């Protein structure tokens, strides 16, 4: 048990959820304050709004998968998944640009910031409710299967989402006008 009698995974989950919500709010606010950039041409880097849209789509996909359930899938992560988790962390830590592992998180067609904000906040609230409940009731059970990192429990799932947002937050900041 951790401080206050809470299980360590519950505390890890809660801390990561709070950080994720705070970072989501900060990113949306920073993009909202910036002037709209011109639409990118084919093959151009994503705009800050498109990066937020990508993050929104990733959280919507994760939430959908969580709600569909993986509890019946009791398989433990394989060596491939463990290596995949390390690879994902390295990609995010080194801020490497890689192709998204699934096409459903590509921000096309681009949406308006207001729509991205509404949907991303809704997905975030859904993830918070789901993971808080699962962190209490079944902290060791997988809730999400990342295409590379494999099955993840509540704490690992939200930590991966947080790492993903941090990775793209740096890109958003780089692409916003100075000021």
For the chain, the domains span 19-33+46-70+78-175
* Residue 42, burial from CB neighbour count under 10 angstroms (0-12, 13-18, 19+): exposed
> What are the pLDDT digits (tens) for 58-112?
999 999 999 988 645 556 778 888 888 788 878 887 777 777 767 888 998 889 9
Would residue 124 be called left, alpha or beta, if left means φ above 0 and alpha means ψ between -120 and 50 degrees? alpha
Is residue 2 predicted with pLDDT exceeding 70?
no
pLDDT at 4: 54
Q: What is the mean pLDDT of residues 150-170?
A: 93
- Quote the CA–CA distance of 19 and 103 in Å, as a whole number: 27
pLDDT class of 31 with cuts at 50, 70, 90: very high
> What are the pLDDT digits (tens) for 105-156?
899 888 999 999 999 999 999 999 999 999 999 888 889 888 888 888 899 9
Write out the two tokens for 155.
């704490």
pLDDT at 102: 73
pLDDT at 74: 56
Residue 163 bridge partners (DSSP): none
């Amino acid at each position: 048990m951790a401080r206050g009698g809470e299980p360590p995974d519950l505390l890890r989950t809660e801390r990561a959820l709070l950080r994720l919500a705070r970072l989501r709010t900060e990113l949306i606010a920073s993009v909202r304050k910036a002037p709209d950039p011109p639409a990118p041409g084919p093959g151009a880097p994503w705009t800050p709004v498109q990066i937020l849209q990508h993050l929104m789509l990733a959280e919507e996909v994760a939430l959908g998968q969580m709600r569909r359930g993986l509890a019946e899938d009791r398989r433990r992560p394989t060596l491939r998944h463990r290596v995949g988790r390390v690879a994902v962390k390295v990609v995010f830590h080194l801020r490497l640009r890689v192709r998204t592992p699934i096409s459903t998180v590509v921000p096309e067609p681009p949406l308006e910031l207001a729509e991205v904000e509404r949907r991303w906040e809704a997905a975030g609230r859904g993830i918070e409710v789901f993971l808080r409940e699962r962190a209490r009731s079944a902290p060791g059970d997988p809730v999400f299967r990342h295409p590379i990192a494999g099955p993840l429990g509540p704490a690992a799932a939200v930590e991966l989402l947080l790492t993903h947002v941090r990775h793209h937050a740096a890109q958003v900041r780089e692409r916003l006008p100075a000021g």
